[in-house]
Structure 1
Amino acid sequence: MTRPLRVVFAGTPTFAAESLKALLASHHDIIAVYTQPDRPAGRGRKLTPSPVKALAQEHGIDVHQPVTLKDAQAQQTLAALGADIMVVVAYGLLLPQAVLDIPRLGCLNIHASLLPRWRGAAPIQRAIEAGDSETGVTIMQMDAGLDTGDMLLIRRIPIEATTTGGELHDQLAQLGGEAIAEALNALTSDELTATPQPSDGVTYASKLSKAEAELDFTRAAKELAARIRAFNPWPVTWALLDGQPLRVWLAEPEAEATEDLAQLPGTLLKPASDALRIACGSDGQDVLRVTQAQLPGGKPLAARDLLNSRAERFSPGIRLGHSHQEDTA
Protein backbone atom coordinates (compact mmCIF):
# COMPACT_ATOMS: atom_id res chain seq x y z
CA MET A 1 0.00 0.00 0.00
CA THR A 2 1.23 3.48 -0.84
CA ARG A 3 1.88 5.89 1.99
CA PRO A 4 -1.10 8.07 2.97
CA LEU A 5 -1.27 11.68 1.85
CA ARG A 6 -2.54 14.58 3.93
CA VAL A 7 -5.43 15.80 1.77
CA VAL A 8 -7.46 19.01 1.87
CA PHE A 9 -10.70 18.48 -0.06
CA ALA A 10 -12.53 21.41 -1.70
CA GLY A 11 -16.00 20.88 -3.19
CA THR A 12 -19.64 21.78 -2.77
CA PRO A 13 -22.43 19.86 -4.59
CA THR A 14 -23.47 16.20 -4.64
CA PHE A 15 -21.07 15.50 -7.51
CA ALA A 16 -18.17 16.50 -5.25
CA ALA A 17 -19.55 14.59 -2.26
CA GLU A 18 -19.18 11.34 -4.20
CA SER A 19 -15.45 12.00 -4.58
CA LEU A 20 -15.15 12.83 -0.89
CA LYS A 21 -16.85 9.52 -0.06
CA ALA A 22 -14.28 7.67 -2.16
CA LEU A 23 -11.37 9.41 -0.43
CA LEU A 24 -12.85 8.78 3.01
CA ALA A 25 -12.91 5.08 2.12
CA SER A 26 -9.24 5.21 1.07
CA HIS A 27 -6.22 5.11 3.36
CA HIS A 28 -5.45 8.78 2.73
CA ASP A 29 -5.96 11.32 5.53
CA ILE A 30 -8.62 13.99 4.87
CA ILE A 31 -7.40 16.73 7.21
CA ALA A 32 -9.91 19.45 6.25
CA VAL A 33 -12.75 20.25 3.89
CA TYR A 34 -13.41 23.54 2.08
CA THR A 35 -16.90 24.24 0.76
CA GLN A 36 -19.18 27.14 -0.15
CA PRO A 37 -20.95 29.04 2.66
CA ASP A 38 -24.39 27.71 3.63
CA ARG A 39 -27.15 28.92 1.29
CA PRO A 40 -30.90 29.51 1.80
CA ALA A 41 -32.94 26.57 0.50
CA GLY A 42 -36.50 25.30 0.53
CA ARG A 43 -39.73 27.17 1.09
CA GLY A 44 -38.54 28.51 4.43
CA ARG A 45 -35.26 29.71 2.88
CA LYS A 46 -33.42 28.15 5.80
CA LEU A 47 -29.62 28.21 5.63
CA THR A 48 -28.59 24.76 4.43
CA PRO A 49 -25.13 23.19 4.37
CA SER A 50 -23.75 21.87 1.10
CA PRO A 51 -23.71 18.08 0.53
CA VAL A 52 -19.93 18.15 1.01
CA LYS A 53 -20.22 19.95 4.36
CA ALA A 54 -22.90 17.55 5.58
CA LEU A 55 -20.72 14.55 4.71
CA ALA A 56 -17.63 16.09 6.32
CA GLN A 57 -19.52 16.78 9.53
CA GLU A 58 -20.75 13.17 9.63
CA HIS A 59 -17.11 12.11 9.70
CA GLY A 60 -15.92 14.75 12.15
CA ILE A 61 -13.76 16.60 9.64
CA ASP A 62 -13.01 20.30 10.11
CA VAL A 63 -14.94 22.45 7.62
CA HIS A 64 -13.81 25.83 6.26
CA GLN A 65 -16.22 28.09 4.36
CA PRO A 66 -14.37 31.25 3.30
CA VAL A 67 -16.16 33.68 1.01
CA THR A 68 -12.92 34.05 -0.95
CA LEU A 69 -9.46 32.53 -1.07
CA LYS A 70 -7.87 35.69 -2.42
CA ASP A 71 -7.09 37.33 0.93
CA ALA A 72 -3.94 36.70 2.92
CA GLN A 73 -5.69 35.45 6.06
CA ALA A 74 -7.55 32.69 4.19
CA GLN A 75 -4.32 31.64 2.51
CA GLN A 76 -2.47 31.55 5.84
CA THR A 77 -5.19 29.34 7.33
CA LEU A 78 -4.85 26.91 4.43
CA ALA A 79 -1.06 26.89 4.61
CA ALA A 80 -1.16 26.14 8.35
CA LEU A 81 -2.91 22.82 7.62
CA GLY A 82 0.29 21.41 6.13
CA ALA A 83 -1.44 19.51 3.33
CA ASP A 84 0.43 17.34 0.86
CA ILE A 85 -2.22 17.94 -1.78
CA MET A 86 -5.55 19.68 -2.35
CA VAL A 87 -8.31 17.89 -4.29
CA VAL A 88 -10.81 20.27 -5.92
CA VAL A 89 -14.18 19.16 -7.33
CA ALA A 90 -16.90 21.64 -8.31
CA TYR A 91 -15.86 23.93 -5.48
CA GLY A 92 -17.24 27.17 -6.87
CA LEU A 93 -14.44 29.54 -5.85
CA LEU A 94 -11.52 30.72 -7.94
CA LEU A 95 -8.18 29.43 -6.69
CA PRO A 96 -5.47 32.07 -7.24
CA GLN A 97 -1.93 30.98 -8.01
CA ALA A 98 -0.90 31.64 -4.40
CA VAL A 99 -3.37 28.95 -3.27
CA LEU A 100 -2.35 26.50 -6.00
CA ASP A 101 1.22 26.76 -4.72
CA ILE A 102 0.43 26.05 -1.04
CA PRO A 103 0.11 22.22 -0.92
CA ARG A 104 3.39 20.35 -1.35
CA LEU A 105 2.10 18.49 -4.43
CA GLY A 106 -0.16 21.24 -5.67
CA CYS A 107 -3.89 20.97 -6.43
CA LEU A 108 -5.70 18.28 -8.42
CA ASN A 109 -9.07 18.78 -10.09
CA ILE A 110 -11.66 16.19 -11.13
CA HIS A 111 -13.22 17.48 -14.34
CA ALA A 112 -16.26 15.75 -15.86
CA SER A 113 -15.11 15.57 -19.47
CA LEU A 114 -12.36 14.24 -21.69
CA LEU A 115 -10.20 17.33 -21.75
CA PRO A 116 -9.56 19.49 -23.70
CA ARG A 117 -13.14 18.90 -24.88
CA TRP A 118 -15.73 20.68 -22.73
CA ARG A 119 -13.71 22.90 -20.48
CA GLY A 120 -15.96 25.09 -18.35
CA ALA A 121 -19.14 25.01 -16.31
CA ALA A 122 -21.49 22.40 -17.82
CA PRO A 123 -19.45 19.62 -19.46
CA ILE A 124 -21.92 16.83 -18.65
CA GLN A 125 -24.92 18.45 -20.31
CA ARG A 126 -23.03 19.90 -23.26
CA ALA A 127 -21.60 16.49 -24.15
CA ILE A 128 -25.12 15.02 -24.40
CA GLU A 129 -26.48 18.06 -26.21
CA ALA A 130 -23.71 17.85 -28.81
CA GLY A 131 -24.38 14.16 -29.46
CA ASP A 132 -21.01 12.95 -28.18
CA SER A 133 -20.72 9.15 -28.09
CA GLU A 134 -18.45 9.11 -25.03
CA THR A 135 -17.26 11.22 -22.15
CA GLY A 136 -15.46 10.61 -18.87
CA VAL A 137 -13.42 12.27 -16.15
CA THR A 138 -9.99 13.84 -16.29
CA ILE A 139 -7.77 14.19 -13.23
CA MET A 140 -5.85 17.38 -13.88
CA GLN A 141 -3.00 19.22 -12.21
CA MET A 142 -4.51 22.66 -11.69
CA ASP A 143 -2.97 25.84 -13.05
CA ALA A 144 -4.26 29.40 -13.22
CA GLY A 145 -6.20 28.81 -16.47
CA LEU A 146 -9.77 27.57 -16.98
CA ASP A 147 -9.38 23.77 -16.98
CA THR A 148 -6.09 24.06 -18.85
CA GLY A 149 -3.74 22.10 -16.56
CA ASP A 150 -1.75 18.98 -17.39
CA MET A 151 -3.70 15.71 -17.47
CA LEU A 152 -2.73 12.97 -15.03
CA LEU A 153 -5.40 10.31 -15.51
CA ILE A 154 -8.40 9.82 -17.83
CA ARG A 155 -11.31 7.41 -17.45
CA ARG A 156 -13.91 7.01 -20.22
CA ILE A 157 -17.55 5.89 -20.40
CA PRO A 158 -20.01 5.74 -23.32
CA ILE A 159 -23.01 8.05 -23.65
CA GLU A 160 -26.01 5.95 -24.59
CA ALA A 161 -28.77 7.21 -26.89
CA THR A 162 -31.20 7.49 -23.96
CA THR A 163 -28.87 8.90 -21.28
CA THR A 164 -30.13 12.01 -19.48
CA GLY A 165 -28.08 14.75 -17.85
CA GLY A 166 -29.01 13.45 -14.42
CA GLU A 167 -28.05 9.88 -15.21
CA LEU A 168 -24.71 10.90 -16.70
CA HIS A 169 -24.05 13.19 -13.70
CA ASP A 170 -24.44 10.23 -11.34
CA GLN A 171 -22.27 7.93 -13.46
CA LEU A 172 -19.47 10.49 -13.68
CA ALA A 173 -19.69 11.35 -9.98
CA GLN A 174 -18.97 7.73 -9.12
CA LEU A 175 -16.29 7.44 -11.79
CA GLY A 176 -14.64 10.63 -10.51
CA GLY A 177 -14.39 9.21 -7.02
CA GLU A 178 -12.79 6.02 -8.29
CA ALA A 179 -10.39 7.97 -10.49
CA ILE A 180 -9.17 10.39 -7.80
CA ALA A 181 -8.50 7.56 -5.35
CA GLU A 182 -6.54 5.77 -8.06
CA ALA A 183 -4.66 8.95 -8.95
CA LEU A 184 -3.58 9.67 -5.38
CA ASN A 185 -2.30 6.12 -4.97
CA ALA A 186 -0.37 6.36 -8.24
CA LEU A 187 0.97 9.78 -7.32
CA THR A 188 2.65 8.50 -4.16
CA SER A 189 4.34 5.71 -6.08
CA ASP A 190 5.49 7.96 -8.95
CA GLU A 191 3.28 6.13 -11.46
CA LEU A 192 1.57 9.21 -12.90
CA THR A 193 2.83 11.15 -15.89
CA ALA A 194 1.64 14.70 -16.48
CA THR A 195 0.55 15.22 -20.10
CA PRO A 196 -0.08 18.71 -21.47
CA GLN A 197 -3.50 19.15 -23.05
CA PRO A 198 -3.44 19.23 -26.86
CA SER A 199 -4.28 22.53 -28.48
CA ASP A 200 -6.62 20.83 -30.95
CA GLY A 201 -10.14 19.88 -29.91
CA VAL A 202 -10.68 22.58 -27.29
CA THR A 203 -14.37 23.33 -26.65
CA TYR A 204 -16.10 25.28 -23.90
CA ALA A 205 -19.17 24.15 -21.98
CA SER A 206 -21.05 27.34 -21.17
CA LYS A 207 -23.26 27.49 -18.08
CA LEU A 208 -26.83 26.28 -18.55
CA SER A 209 -29.61 28.87 -18.54
CA LYS A 210 -33.37 28.66 -18.29
CA ALA A 211 -33.64 30.92 -21.35
CA GLU A 212 -32.11 28.33 -23.67
CA ALA A 213 -34.47 25.61 -22.38
CA GLU A 214 -37.32 26.83 -24.62
CA LEU A 215 -37.67 24.43 -27.53
CA ASP A 216 -37.35 25.76 -31.08
CA PHE A 217 -39.28 23.36 -33.28
CA THR A 218 -37.59 24.61 -36.44
CA ARG A 219 -34.63 22.51 -35.24
CA ALA A 220 -34.20 18.87 -36.23
CA ALA A 221 -35.83 16.21 -34.05
CA LYS A 222 -32.48 14.59 -33.27
CA GLU A 223 -31.09 17.91 -32.04
CA LEU A 224 -34.17 18.64 -29.93
CA ALA A 225 -34.15 15.17 -28.36
CA ALA A 226 -30.50 15.58 -27.37
CA ARG A 227 -31.17 18.92 -25.69
CA ILE A 228 -34.20 17.52 -23.88
CA ARG A 229 -32.11 14.68 -22.43
CA ALA A 230 -29.22 17.02 -21.58
CA PHE A 231 -31.47 19.46 -19.71
CA ASN A 232 -33.13 16.71 -17.64
CA PRO A 233 -33.38 17.24 -14.63
CA TRP A 234 -32.40 20.94 -14.92
CA PRO A 235 -33.40 23.38 -16.28
CA VAL A 236 -35.91 21.13 -18.17
CA THR A 237 -36.93 22.04 -21.70
CA TRP A 238 -40.36 23.52 -22.39
CA ALA A 239 -42.69 24.93 -25.01
CA LEU A 240 -45.86 26.99 -24.79
CA LEU A 241 -49.12 25.07 -25.14
CA ASP A 242 -52.18 27.34 -25.18
CA GLY A 243 -50.06 30.08 -23.63
CA GLN A 244 -48.78 27.93 -20.75
CA PRO A 245 -45.47 26.08 -20.45
CA LEU A 246 -45.48 22.37 -21.20
CA ARG A 247 -42.30 20.93 -19.70
CA VAL A 248 -40.75 18.21 -21.84
CA TRP A 249 -38.72 15.62 -19.92
CA LEU A 250 -38.08 12.81 -22.39
CA ALA A 251 -38.30 12.58 -26.17
CA GLU A 252 -36.77 10.85 -29.17
CA PRO A 253 -36.66 11.44 -32.90
CA GLU A 254 -39.09 9.36 -34.91
CA ALA A 255 -37.25 7.01 -37.21
CA GLU A 256 -39.45 7.74 -40.20
CA ALA A 257 -42.63 9.72 -40.55
CA THR A 258 -45.58 7.57 -41.60
CA GLU A 259 -47.53 10.34 -43.32
CA ASP A 260 -46.94 13.38 -45.51
CA LEU A 261 -46.73 15.98 -42.75
CA ALA A 262 -47.03 19.33 -44.52
CA GLN A 263 -47.33 20.97 -41.12
CA LEU A 264 -45.72 24.04 -39.59
CA PRO A 265 -42.98 23.31 -37.02
CA GLY A 266 -44.47 22.83 -33.54
CA THR A 267 -47.75 21.35 -34.77
CA LEU A 268 -49.14 18.38 -32.85
CA LEU A 269 -49.66 15.37 -35.13
CA LYS A 270 -51.78 12.28 -34.61
CA PRO A 271 -50.34 10.80 -31.39
CA ALA A 272 -48.89 7.34 -30.97
CA SER A 273 -50.21 5.16 -28.14
CA ASP A 274 -47.19 6.10 -26.00
CA ALA A 275 -46.00 9.46 -27.36
CA LEU A 276 -47.02 12.94 -28.41
CA ARG A 277 -45.83 13.56 -31.96
CA ILE A 278 -44.70 17.05 -32.97
CA ALA A 279 -43.73 18.32 -36.41
CA CYS A 280 -40.31 19.95 -36.37
CA GLY A 281 -37.36 20.82 -38.57
CA SER A 282 -37.08 23.83 -40.84
CA ASP A 283 -39.69 22.37 -43.21
CA GLY A 284 -41.84 20.67 -40.58
CA GLN A 285 -41.10 17.26 -42.11
CA ASP A 286 -39.27 15.89 -39.04
CA VAL A 287 -41.08 14.30 -36.06
CA LEU A 288 -40.26 14.50 -32.37
CA ARG A 289 -41.83 11.82 -30.16
CA VAL A 290 -42.38 13.15 -26.62
CA THR A 291 -42.66 10.27 -24.16
CA GLN A 292 -42.76 12.21 -20.87
CA ALA A 293 -44.07 15.71 -20.20
CA GLN A 294 -45.57 17.90 -17.49
CA LEU A 295 -48.55 20.22 -17.60
CA PRO A 296 -48.62 23.34 -15.36
CA GLY A 297 -49.51 22.40 -11.79
CA GLY A 298 -49.03 18.71 -12.47
CA LYS A 299 -46.21 16.24 -12.19
CA PRO A 300 -44.14 14.63 -14.95
CA LEU A 301 -46.22 11.91 -16.60
CA ALA A 302 -45.72 9.37 -19.34
CA ALA A 303 -47.29 10.59 -22.57
CA ARG A 304 -49.62 7.58 -22.48
CA ASP A 305 -51.09 8.85 -19.19
CA LEU A 306 -51.38 12.42 -20.46
CA LEU A 307 -53.25 11.24 -23.53
CA ASN A 308 -55.58 9.08 -21.46
CA SER A 309 -56.48 11.90 -19.05
CA ARG A 310 -56.11 15.12 -21.07
CA ALA A 311 -56.42 14.11 -24.71
CA GLU A 312 -58.21 17.36 -25.61
CA ARG A 313 -55.10 19.35 -24.69
CA PHE A 314 -53.11 17.50 -27.35
CA SER A 315 -55.47 17.41 -30.32
CA PRO A 316 -53.78 17.16 -33.73
CA GLY A 317 -53.37 20.56 -35.34
CA ILE A 318 -52.66 22.48 -32.12
CA ARG A 319 -49.34 24.29 -32.29
CA LEU A 320 -46.73 24.62 -29.61
CA GLY A 321 -44.40 27.57 -29.59
CA HIS A 322 -43.77 31.09 -28.42
CA SER A 323 -46.44 33.23 -30.08
CA HIS A 324 -45.70 31.30 -33.30
CA GLN A 325 -43.07 33.84 -34.24
CA GLU A 326 -42.04 31.74 -37.23
CA ASP A 327 -45.42 32.60 -38.87
CA THR A 328 -44.25 36.16 -39.46
CA ALA A 329 -40.68 35.29 -40.36
Structure 2
Amino acid sequence: MSERITTPFGRESTAAEVVAGIDLTGRRAIVTGGASGIGVETARALAGAGAEVTLAVRDTAAGQRVADDIGGDVRVARLDLADRASVAAFVAGWDGPLHLLVNNAGVMAAPETRTPEGWELQFATNHLGHFALTRGLHRYLAAEGARVVQVSSSAHLMSGVVFDDIHYERRPYDPWTAYGQSKTANVLFAVEAAKRWAADGITANALMPGGIATNLQRHVSQEDLDRLRAQAKDRAGEEYRWKTPEQGAATSVLLATSPLLEGVGGRYFEDCNEALPAAPGIATSGVAEHALDPEAATRLWDVSERHLGR
Protein backbone atom coordinates (compact mmCIF):
# COMPACT_ATOMS: atom_id res chain seq x y z
CA MET A 1 0.00 0.00 0.00
CA SER A 2 1.37 3.41 -0.94
CA GLU A 3 2.06 5.82 1.85
CA ARG A 4 -0.81 8.19 2.60
CA ILE A 5 -0.18 11.72 1.36
CA THR A 6 -0.56 14.54 3.86
CA THR A 7 0.04 18.25 3.41
CA PRO A 8 0.43 21.33 5.62
CA PHE A 9 -3.12 22.32 4.68
CA GLY A 10 -6.45 21.28 6.14
CA ARG A 11 -10.18 21.84 6.38
CA GLU A 12 -9.98 25.59 6.93
CA SER A 13 -7.43 26.26 4.19
CA THR A 14 -8.50 28.38 1.21
CA ALA A 15 -7.66 27.99 -2.45
CA ALA A 16 -5.54 31.15 -2.31
CA GLU A 17 -3.52 29.78 0.61
CA VAL A 18 -2.94 26.45 -1.13
CA VAL A 19 -1.61 28.06 -4.32
CA ALA A 20 0.43 30.81 -2.62
CA GLY A 21 4.00 30.83 -3.91
CA ILE A 22 3.22 28.64 -6.94
CA ASP A 23 3.83 30.24 -10.34
CA LEU A 24 1.48 29.01 -13.07
CA THR A 25 2.67 31.44 -15.73
CA GLY A 26 2.51 29.72 -19.12
CA ARG A 27 0.12 27.05 -17.84
CA ARG A 28 -3.30 26.52 -19.41
CA ALA A 29 -6.25 25.24 -17.39
CA ILE A 30 -9.87 24.28 -17.98
CA VAL A 31 -12.41 24.41 -15.16
CA THR A 32 -15.80 22.90 -15.99
CA GLY A 33 -18.67 24.56 -14.18
CA GLY A 34 -16.45 27.56 -13.63
CA ALA A 35 -19.31 30.09 -13.51
CA SER A 36 -20.64 29.24 -10.06
CA GLY A 37 -19.81 27.86 -6.63
CA ILE A 38 -16.38 26.41 -6.03
CA GLY A 39 -15.69 26.51 -9.76
CA VAL A 40 -15.41 30.30 -9.54
CA GLU A 41 -12.94 30.14 -6.66
CA THR A 42 -10.94 27.37 -8.35
CA ALA A 43 -10.62 29.51 -11.46
CA ARG A 44 -9.81 32.61 -9.42
CA ALA A 45 -6.95 30.86 -7.60
CA LEU A 46 -5.47 29.40 -10.79
CA ALA A 47 -5.71 32.70 -12.65
CA GLY A 48 -4.28 34.55 -9.66
CA ALA A 49 -1.19 32.32 -9.87
CA GLY A 50 -0.71 33.27 -13.52
CA ALA A 51 -2.52 30.51 -15.42
CA GLU A 52 -4.63 31.03 -18.52
CA VAL A 53 -8.01 29.65 -17.45
CA THR A 54 -10.93 28.62 -19.65
CA LEU A 55 -14.31 28.48 -17.94
CA ALA A 56 -16.22 25.64 -19.61
CA VAL A 57 -19.85 26.50 -18.86
CA ARG A 58 -23.41 26.06 -20.10
CA ASP A 59 -24.26 29.73 -19.53
CA THR A 60 -21.59 31.74 -21.32
CA ALA A 61 -23.06 35.08 -20.20
CA ALA A 62 -22.67 34.02 -16.57
CA GLY A 63 -19.20 32.74 -17.41
CA GLN A 64 -18.23 36.09 -18.90
CA ARG A 65 -19.39 37.92 -15.78
CA VAL A 66 -17.16 35.66 -13.69
CA ALA A 67 -14.25 36.12 -16.08
CA ASP A 68 -14.62 39.89 -15.90
CA ASP A 69 -14.73 39.75 -12.11
CA ILE A 70 -11.64 37.56 -11.82
CA GLY A 71 -9.55 39.47 -14.35
CA GLY A 72 -6.30 38.10 -15.72
CA ASP A 73 -6.33 35.71 -18.66
CA VAL A 74 -9.71 34.07 -18.14
CA ARG A 75 -11.66 32.85 -21.16
CA VAL A 76 -15.14 31.42 -21.61
CA ALA A 77 -16.33 28.54 -23.78
CA ARG A 78 -19.67 26.78 -23.95
CA LEU A 79 -19.94 23.23 -22.64
CA ASP A 80 -23.05 21.22 -21.79
CA LEU A 81 -21.81 17.92 -20.39
CA ALA A 82 -25.18 16.21 -20.93
CA ASP A 83 -25.05 17.00 -24.66
CA ARG A 84 -22.61 14.84 -26.61
CA ALA A 85 -22.52 17.31 -29.51
CA SER A 86 -21.61 20.14 -27.13
CA VAL A 87 -18.74 18.10 -25.65
CA ALA A 88 -17.51 17.24 -29.15
CA ALA A 89 -17.67 20.89 -30.20
CA PHE A 90 -15.69 21.99 -27.15
CA VAL A 91 -12.99 19.40 -27.86
CA ALA A 92 -12.87 20.40 -31.53
CA GLY A 93 -12.45 24.02 -30.53
CA TRP A 94 -9.49 23.39 -28.23
CA ASP A 95 -5.99 23.81 -29.55
CA GLY A 96 -2.56 23.94 -28.01
CA PRO A 97 -1.24 22.94 -24.60
CA LEU A 98 -3.40 21.82 -21.70
CA HIS A 99 -1.74 21.45 -18.32
CA LEU A 100 -4.67 21.32 -15.88
CA LEU A 101 -8.18 19.94 -16.33
CA VAL A 102 -10.50 20.40 -13.36
CA ASN A 103 -13.68 18.37 -13.91
CA ASN A 104 -15.74 20.37 -11.45
CA ALA A 105 -19.23 20.74 -12.95
CA GLY A 106 -22.04 18.59 -11.67
CA VAL A 107 -25.70 18.13 -10.90
CA MET A 108 -26.88 16.92 -7.48
CA ALA A 109 -29.97 14.94 -6.47
CA ALA A 110 -31.89 15.86 -9.61
CA PRO A 111 -35.42 14.57 -10.15
CA GLU A 112 -35.52 11.66 -12.56
CA THR A 113 -34.43 13.04 -15.91
CA ARG A 114 -33.11 11.31 -19.01
CA THR A 115 -30.91 12.50 -21.83
CA PRO A 116 -32.00 11.91 -25.44
CA GLU A 117 -29.99 8.64 -25.28
CA GLY A 118 -32.11 7.50 -22.31
CA TRP A 119 -29.26 7.91 -19.84
CA GLU A 120 -29.91 8.97 -16.27
CA LEU A 121 -28.98 12.66 -16.09
CA GLN A 122 -26.61 12.63 -13.12
CA PHE A 123 -24.53 9.74 -14.45
CA ALA A 124 -24.59 11.29 -17.93
CA THR A 125 -23.50 14.72 -16.73
CA ASN A 126 -21.21 14.01 -13.80
CA HIS A 127 -19.44 11.02 -15.31
CA LEU A 128 -20.06 10.35 -18.99
CA GLY A 129 -19.75 13.99 -20.05
CA HIS A 130 -16.47 14.40 -18.21
CA PHE A 131 -15.26 11.03 -19.49
CA ALA A 132 -15.92 12.10 -23.10
CA LEU A 133 -14.34 15.50 -22.50
CA THR A 134 -11.18 14.16 -20.90
CA ARG A 135 -10.67 11.42 -23.49
CA GLY A 136 -11.29 13.94 -26.24
CA LEU A 137 -8.59 16.21 -24.82
CA HIS A 138 -6.17 13.34 -24.17
CA ARG A 139 -3.58 14.30 -26.76
CA TYR A 140 -3.30 17.80 -25.34
CA LEU A 141 -3.05 16.45 -21.81
CA ALA A 142 -0.45 13.87 -22.82
CA ALA A 143 1.71 16.47 -24.55
CA GLU A 144 2.12 18.31 -21.25
CA GLY A 145 2.09 15.51 -18.67
CA ALA A 146 -1.04 17.18 -17.33
CA ARG A 147 -3.05 16.82 -14.15
CA VAL A 148 -6.71 15.82 -14.20
CA VAL A 149 -8.76 16.70 -11.12
CA GLN A 150 -12.08 14.93 -10.52
CA VAL A 151 -14.44 16.70 -8.13
CA SER A 152 -16.29 13.85 -6.41
CA SER A 153 -18.16 13.87 -3.08
CA SER A 154 -18.59 11.97 0.16
CA ALA A 155 -21.93 11.02 -1.43
CA HIS A 156 -19.93 8.29 -3.20
CA LEU A 157 -20.34 6.41 0.09
CA MET A 158 -24.06 6.06 -0.72
CA SER A 159 -23.62 3.84 -3.77
CA GLY A 160 -21.10 2.07 -5.92
CA VAL A 161 -21.69 1.90 -9.66
CA VAL A 162 -24.58 -0.54 -10.13
CA PHE A 163 -23.40 -1.98 -13.43
CA ASP A 164 -26.50 -4.15 -13.85
CA ASP A 165 -28.79 -1.11 -13.82
CA ILE A 166 -26.82 2.11 -14.12
CA HIS A 167 -29.74 4.09 -15.52
CA TYR A 168 -32.49 2.96 -13.12
CA GLU A 169 -34.40 1.07 -15.74
CA ARG A 170 -35.31 -1.82 -13.43
CA ARG A 171 -35.08 -0.29 -9.95
CA PRO A 172 -36.93 2.66 -8.45
CA TYR A 173 -35.18 5.93 -9.09
CA ASP A 174 -33.61 7.60 -6.08
CA PRO A 175 -31.97 11.00 -6.59
CA TRP A 176 -29.40 10.48 -3.84
CA THR A 177 -28.16 7.02 -4.79
CA ALA A 178 -28.03 8.21 -8.41
CA TYR A 179 -25.86 11.11 -7.29
CA GLY A 180 -23.73 8.80 -5.18
CA GLN A 181 -23.24 6.39 -8.08
CA SER A 182 -22.08 9.23 -10.32
CA LYS A 183 -19.64 10.46 -7.65
CA THR A 184 -18.19 6.96 -7.27
CA ALA A 185 -17.75 6.97 -11.04
CA ASN A 186 -15.72 10.18 -10.74
CA VAL A 187 -13.26 8.44 -8.41
CA LEU A 188 -13.09 5.25 -10.46
CA PHE A 189 -12.32 7.32 -13.55
CA ALA A 190 -9.33 8.85 -11.76
CA VAL A 191 -8.14 5.40 -10.70
CA GLU A 192 -8.27 4.01 -14.24
CA ALA A 193 -7.01 7.13 -16.02
CA ALA A 194 -3.99 7.27 -13.71
CA LYS A 195 -3.20 3.67 -14.64
CA ARG A 196 -3.89 3.86 -18.39
CA TRP A 197 -2.20 7.19 -18.95
CA ALA A 198 0.78 6.85 -16.61
CA ALA A 199 3.12 6.44 -19.58
CA ASP A 200 1.85 9.79 -20.91
CA GLY A 201 2.81 11.49 -17.68
CA ILE A 202 -0.85 12.27 -16.94
CA THR A 203 -1.99 12.04 -13.34
CA ALA A 204 -5.61 11.96 -12.19
CA ASN A 205 -6.96 12.25 -8.66
CA ALA A 206 -10.39 12.74 -7.11
CA LEU A 207 -11.57 14.75 -4.15
CA MET A 208 -14.38 15.67 -1.81
CA PRO A 209 -14.53 19.48 -1.62
CA GLY A 210 -16.63 19.56 1.55
CA GLY A 211 -20.14 20.79 2.09
CA ILE A 212 -20.59 24.21 0.51
CA ALA A 213 -23.87 26.06 0.05
CA THR A 214 -23.93 26.69 -3.71
CA ASN A 215 -26.22 26.43 -6.72
CA LEU A 216 -25.36 22.71 -6.80
CA GLN A 217 -28.14 22.19 -4.25
CA ARG A 218 -30.81 23.76 -6.47
CA HIS A 219 -32.74 20.47 -6.60
CA VAL A 220 -32.49 19.88 -2.84
CA SER A 221 -35.13 21.21 -0.46
CA GLN A 222 -34.14 23.04 2.72
CA GLU A 223 -35.84 20.23 4.64
CA ASP A 224 -33.58 17.67 2.97
CA LEU A 225 -30.49 19.77 3.62
CA ASP A 226 -31.40 20.16 7.31
CA ARG A 227 -32.05 16.42 7.62
CA LEU A 228 -28.77 15.47 5.96
CA ARG A 229 -26.85 17.90 8.11
CA ALA A 230 -28.45 16.54 11.28
CA GLN A 231 -27.51 12.99 10.28
CA ALA A 232 -23.98 13.88 9.25
CA LYS A 233 -21.28 13.51 11.88
CA ASP A 234 -17.57 13.74 11.32
CA ARG A 235 -14.97 11.37 12.74
CA ALA A 236 -14.92 13.31 16.01
CA GLY A 237 -18.69 12.95 16.32
CA GLU A 238 -19.24 16.66 15.81
CA GLU A 239 -21.98 18.20 13.70
CA TYR A 240 -20.99 18.76 10.11
CA ARG A 241 -19.80 22.28 9.32
CA TRP A 242 -20.22 24.03 5.99
CA LYS A 243 -17.22 25.45 4.17
CA THR A 244 -16.96 28.73 2.32
CA PRO A 245 -16.54 28.46 -1.46
CA GLU A 246 -12.92 29.60 -1.00
CA GLN A 247 -12.33 26.69 1.40
CA GLY A 248 -14.30 24.30 -0.80
CA ALA A 249 -12.04 25.02 -3.77
CA ALA A 250 -8.83 24.41 -1.81
CA THR A 251 -8.53 20.66 -2.34
CA SER A 252 -9.18 21.00 -6.09
CA VAL A 253 -6.48 23.65 -6.36
CA LEU A 254 -4.10 21.57 -4.24
CA LEU A 255 -4.46 18.57 -6.58
CA ALA A 256 -4.04 20.81 -9.62
CA THR A 257 -0.95 22.67 -8.46
CA SER A 258 0.90 21.33 -5.43
CA PRO A 259 4.45 20.00 -5.89
CA LEU A 260 3.51 17.42 -3.23
CA LEU A 261 1.25 15.76 -5.81
CA GLU A 262 3.86 15.50 -8.56
CA GLY A 263 3.53 12.05 -10.15
CA VAL A 264 0.73 11.01 -7.78
CA GLY A 265 -2.43 9.52 -9.28
CA GLY A 266 -5.47 7.35 -8.63
CA ARG A 267 -6.17 8.66 -5.14
CA TYR A 268 -9.00 10.41 -3.29
CA PHE A 269 -8.51 13.48 -1.12
CA GLU A 270 -10.55 15.55 1.32
CA ASP A 271 -9.65 18.61 3.41
CA CYS A 272 -6.39 18.93 1.44
CA ASN A 273 -5.10 15.50 2.49
CA GLU A 274 -5.51 11.97 1.19
CA ALA A 275 -8.64 10.50 2.72
CA LEU A 276 -8.63 7.68 5.23
CA PRO A 277 -10.69 4.54 4.56
CA ALA A 278 -14.38 5.05 5.21
CA ALA A 279 -15.53 4.16 8.73
CA PRO A 280 -18.92 2.64 9.62
CA GLY A 281 -21.49 5.25 10.59
CA ILE A 282 -19.50 8.16 9.14
CA ALA A 283 -21.37 9.58 6.16
CA THR A 284 -19.27 12.65 5.48
CA SER A 285 -15.67 11.53 5.24
CA GLY A 286 -13.39 8.73 4.15
CA VAL A 287 -13.17 6.81 0.92
CA ALA A 288 -15.12 3.63 0.21
CA GLU A 289 -13.39 0.50 -1.04
CA HIS A 290 -15.80 0.38 -3.98
CA ALA A 291 -14.53 3.75 -5.23
CA LEU A 292 -10.90 2.61 -5.43
CA ASP A 293 -11.57 -0.91 -6.73
CA PRO A 294 -9.28 -1.37 -9.76
CA GLU A 295 -11.53 -4.02 -11.34
CA ALA A 296 -14.57 -1.75 -11.08
CA ALA A 297 -12.49 1.10 -12.52
CA THR A 298 -11.56 -0.95 -15.58
CA ARG A 299 -15.12 -2.15 -16.01
CA LEU A 300 -16.47 1.40 -15.78
CA TRP A 301 -14.04 2.59 -18.45
CA ASP A 302 -15.14 -0.19 -20.81
CA VAL A 303 -18.84 0.49 -20.11
CA SER A 304 -18.32 4.20 -20.65
CA GLU A 305 -16.62 3.59 -24.01
CA ARG A 306 -19.56 1.44 -25.07
CA HIS A 307 -21.98 4.21 -24.07
CA LEU A 308 -20.13 6.64 -26.28
CA GLY A 309 -19.83 4.18 -29.15
CA ARG A 310 -16.07 3.86 -29.19
Q: Normalising by the residue count of structure 1, what TM-score does the alignment of the two structures yield?
A: 0.39
The answer to which structure, 1 or 2, has the higher relative contact order (CA under 8 A, 6+ apart) is: 2
Structure with greater Cα Rg: 1
Indicate the structure with greater helix content.
2
